[in-house]
A = this chain, B = another copy of it.
Amino acid sequence: MAYRRSPLMQERLADNRARILRAARTLIARGGFREASIAAVAREVGLSIGAIYRYFPSKAVLFVELLTSAVDHECAVLQAIIDQPGPASARLRAAVMSFAERALKGPNLAYAFMAEPTDTEVEATRILCKRQFGAVFEQVLREGIRRREFPAQRAAVTAACIVGAFTEALVRPVAPRTSSPRNRGDARLAREIADACLRAAGAAAGA
């Protein structure tokens, strides 16, 4: 008697959520938070303004989720790398390069990290995300210090430095409107950034 939602419809719905997030991400990458008005997002996904509000109760929530999910995913990937066996320096290098390579590929959160959102709520999330991000690096640093791979240092400070270093070094190439085709220079850049981060941690030369 009651109509069941067709599988096709269900797909459409889940799809819409994802498409909205994707559209928002694209817009941010293209022109910053500033360009990502609800109207623009709606236009980008091809939905009405009202439809956005069926999926997200407010603009703030949409962007908070955007940031959170991107960071969660990124952190999971990095954590997996860091949980591997082997020397801390190798894992740190692998983690930084993995992030850098993905960052250089497409619209991503490196830029969102730099942006000051209009909204206090989103801003608070951004700070939490950075902290979460740094925590992953802190782990491997701490381990490296314990094993005498890295000299004594406050891991939290170095972690922040590393996050800042590669975010910053990535931002220019990733910056909005610089949609130049990605090339083989990227691999080299990723390696160089990783080199700098390893040195920042105090890894032995050539690690």
Contact yes or no, A166 B161, CB < 8 A: yes
> A192 touches which one: B114, B157, B165 (CB < 8 A)?
B157
Please count how many residues in chain A sit with their CB below 8 Å of the partner chain's CB atoms: 44
Contact yes or no, B169 A167, CB < 8 A: no
Q: Max chain B CB contacts within 10 Å: which of A175, A196, A200?
A: A196
With a cutoff of 8 Å between Cβ atoms, the chain B residues found around residue A166 in the complex are: 161, 164
With a cutoff of 8 Å between Cβ atoms, the chain B residues found around residue A117 in the complex are: 116
Contact yes or no, B160 A168, CB < 8 A: yes
Distance in Å: Cβ of A100 to nearest Cβ of chain B: 11
Give A116 to B192 CA distance when docked, in angstroms.
26
Closest 5 CB pairs of A and B: A164-B168, A161-B165, A200-B200, A115-B116, A164-B164
Chain A contacts to B: CB under 8 angstroms: 31-34, 114-118, 120, 123, 127, 130-131, 151, 153-154, 157-158, 160-169, 171-172, 175-176, 189, 192-193, 195-197, 199-202, 205
Q: What are 25 pairs between A and B in contact, CB < 8 Å?
A: A31-B120, A32-B116, A34-B118, A116-B116, A127-B172, A127-B175, A130-B168, A151-B205, A153-B196, A157-B196, A158-B196, A160-B169, A161-B165, A161-B168, A161-B169, A161-B193, A161-B200, A164-B171, A165-B165, A165-B168, A196-B200, A199-B199, A199-B200, A199-B202, A202-B205
